[in-house]
Amino acid sequence: MSAPSDQRILVGVDGSEASQEALRLGARLAQALGAPLEAMACAGDPTVLDSDLLIDDEALRAGYRRMLTGTVEAVFGDHVPENLTLTVTNGRPAGRLITESETAQLLVLGRRGRSGLLGSLGSVSNACVAYAHCPVIVVRG
């Protein structure tokens, strides 16, 4: 088993204010734990039920990369953590984050994303709280 400092802190990023807060907290926790930090954007529709949906449209993926880079710039400015990795992956956000949580020591998410669905938790954070393979912190934002 890997030492906790070898396992990454995974942060789900969708460009929302709540995910910016999640990235800030994830960075503080990664620094305190001496762990790598990964900001992940998922190029898929959170309201689509098929968790295996893959989006192969390179223009769409490029848009997600721009959103992720813009979020990192908005959160950190010129002080981007050295241990930060940016990842854009295909698939439904909840499904991808749950799968990726198998190799993370912690998953950090914003309470509500950009979908506009009503409720105390967004659909992605709700699913991750229920099914993630590691502890989950949900930031109010």
Once rounded to an integer, what is the mean pLDDT over residues 39-67? 73
* CATH number of the 4-139 domain: 3.40.50.620
3-state DSSP helix/strand/coil % of the chain, to nearest 5:
40, 20, 35
131: phi > 0 → left, psi -120 to 50 → alpha, else beta; which? Answer: alpha
Once rounded to an integer, what is the mean pLDDT over residues 22-31? 98
Q: Where are the domains of the chain?
A: 4-139
Most confident of 50-54, 55-59, 65-69: 65-69
pLDDT at 140: 82
- The strand ranges marked E within 3-139 are 8-12, 37-43, 84-90, 104-110, 136-139
pLDDT class for 51, splitting at 50, 70, 90? Answer: very low
Burial class (CB in 10 A: 0-12, 13-18, 19+), 90: middle
**pLDDT tens digits for 10-23?**
999 999 999 999 99
38 alpha-carbon distance from chain centroid: 8
Task: Tell me the average pLDDT of the chain.
Answer: 86
Once rounded to an integer, what is the mean pLDDT over residues 40-69? 74
In this structure, what token pair is assigned to residue 11?
């942060």
**pLDDT tens digits for 85-140?**
999 998 889 999 999 999 999 999 998 654 444 455 678 899 999 999 999 999 98
pTM of the model: 0.86
Percent of the chain topping pLDDT 90: 67
10, β-bridge pairs: 38, 107
